[in-house]
């Protein structure tokens, strides 16, 4: 089957309009391939007239980022959900086989494969090709930029300490450190191994009626926020600009109260983030739980001329090797960050040329146009 008509359900519920921007990028890419694309707001989806309008279009399928339509949906059209978060945020996938879904990293894909879910595949994040423009002479007045939320990992630790036995509490903290120190061990694999190899841990969760997926979600949040915090705590010689939603600012300020080199800014819409990154020399891309995939922040920063400080990741290292443009780190090496940044910043022209050298790879493999071509080949097999 050839895809000729697709209906997109726009998800406008994500912070800073990220999912809406993703949808627009993929919609435009499909249009360039000659596919007829119609767009509806997901918030209007359940209205009867909306359902009838979509049916009248006779689409091959509907697409919605992070949208999982129920099995009894009145639309009765195949639905594909590109999922942008870790596997365990979507437990309903275990209970149905009517949806098609993709994951931005291979470990989430493999996790659900082990659970017997069939209509899934790996599709990394991407960016619009329009972002791949670089003004080599633009003034960069922001040394280091971090764009993201923050939850104090100590809050997660406190919950674990109350819920778990001392042995299991220590095991969860140990898992987190293992994942932070490894370029290939995911939190999904580490937790699954603990459950399978240590019967008392599994039995404790069962006896206390502690949901496995909830524990995995807490582990992911603990690891991600521990990494973000340690990165910023160890950058001392450069000004760090944190762009975050207002509800998270107090959490950042509480743990970074002694950092005089940190400046806080309100979060900006995703469509404006590219301009912020155009002013930065380095963007922090804290993704310690993504081992076989990449984040759109990584691609967007490079596309706008910023180097990226990121966690060592076997997927990224097979795609790029540019040490001034991509600064890899792993626990416990946070104390080396200032030295790494200094090496990147010492020659701005050389740094920019290395960043520019990543653009052909991004253009060929990591734009929404590239993803649309992949989906034209992949999706028909599931319909």
Q: Residue 187: which CATH number? A: 3.40.50.2000
CA torsion sign, 47 to 48 to 53 to 56?
positive
Residue 61, domain extent: 5-126+367-382
Confidence grade of residue 15 (pLDDT, cut at 50, 70, 90) = confident
Average pLDDT score, the chain: 94
* 254 and 310 co-located in one domain: yes
47 has pLDDT over 80: no
Model confidence pLDDT, tens digit, residues 181-196: 999 999 999 999 999 9
Q: Look at the chain and report how many structural domains it folds into.
A: 2
Average pLDDT of the residues in 262-286: 96
| pTM of the predicted model over 0.85 | yes
Main-chain phi, psi angles of 120, to 5 degrees: -140, 160
Model confidence pLDDT, tens digit, residues 114-171: 889 999 999 999 999 999 988 888 899 999 999 999 999 999 999 999 999 999 999 9
Contact 350, 324 (CB under 8 A): yes
Helix (H, G, I), strand (E, B) or coil at 195: helix
Neighbouring residues of 110: CB distance < 8 A, sequence distance ≥ 6 = 188
> What would the DSSP string read from start to end of 116-167?
T--SEEE----B-GGG----TT----EEEEEE-----HHHHHHHHHHHS-HH
Rg (CA), the chain: 21
pLDDT at residue 248, rounded to an integer: 93
* 226 and 352 co-located in one domain: yes
pLDDT at residue 42, rounded to an integer: 92
Instruction: To the nearest 10°, report the CA torsion of 122, 127, 132, 133.
Output: -170
* 317 and 188 co-located in one domain: yes
* 112 and 140 co-located in one domain: no
* 55 and 142 co-located in one domain: no
pLDDT at residue 137, rounded to an integer: 85
């Amino acid at each position: 089957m050839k895809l000729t008509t697709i209906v997109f359900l726009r998800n406008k519920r994500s912070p800073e309009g990220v999912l809406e921007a993703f949808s627009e990028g993929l919609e435009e890419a499909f249009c360039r391939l000659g596919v007829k694309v119609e767009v509806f707001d997901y918030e209007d989806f359940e209205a009867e007239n909306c359902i009838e309008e979509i049916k009248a279009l006779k689409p091959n399928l509907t697409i919605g980022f992070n949208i999982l339509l129920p099995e009894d949906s009145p639309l009765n059209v195949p639905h594909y959900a590109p999922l942008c978060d870790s596997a365990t945020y979507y437990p309903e996938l275990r209970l149905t086989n009517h949806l098609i879904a993709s994951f931005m990293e291979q470990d989430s894909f493999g996790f659900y494969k082990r659970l017997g879910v069939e209509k899934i595949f790996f599709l990394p994040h991407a960016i619009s090709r329009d972002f791949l423009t670089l003004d080599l002479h633009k003034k960069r007045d922001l040394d280091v930029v971090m764009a993201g939320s923050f939850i104090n990992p100590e809050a997660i630790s406190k919950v674990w300490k109350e819920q778990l036995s001392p042995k299991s509490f220590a095991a969860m903290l140990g898992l987190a450190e293992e994942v932070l120190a490894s370029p290939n061990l995911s939190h999904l694999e580490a937790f699954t191994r603990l459950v399978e190899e240590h019967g008392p841990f599994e039995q404790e969760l069962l006896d206390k009626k502690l949901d496995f997926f909830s524990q995995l979600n807490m582990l992911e949040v603990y690891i991600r926020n521990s990494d973000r915090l340690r990165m910023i705590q160890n950058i001392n010689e450069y000004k760090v600009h944190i762009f975050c939603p207002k509800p998270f600012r107090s959490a950042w300020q509480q743990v970074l109260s002694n950092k005089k080199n940190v400046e806080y800014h309100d979060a900006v819409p995703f469509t404006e983030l590219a301009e912020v990154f155009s002013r930065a020399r380095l963007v922090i891309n804290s993704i310690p739980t993504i081992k076989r995939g990449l984040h759109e922040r990584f691609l967007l920063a490079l596309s706008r001329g910023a180097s990226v400080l990121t966690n060592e990741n076997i997927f990224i290292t097979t795609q790029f090797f540019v040490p001034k443009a991509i600064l890899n780190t792993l626990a416990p090496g946070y104390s080396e960050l200032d030295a790494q940044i200094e090496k990147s910043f010492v020659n701005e022209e050389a740094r920019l040329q290395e960043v520019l050298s990543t653009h052909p790879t991004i253009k060929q493999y990591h734009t929404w146009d590239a993803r649309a071509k992949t989906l034209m080949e992949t999706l028909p097999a599931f319909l």
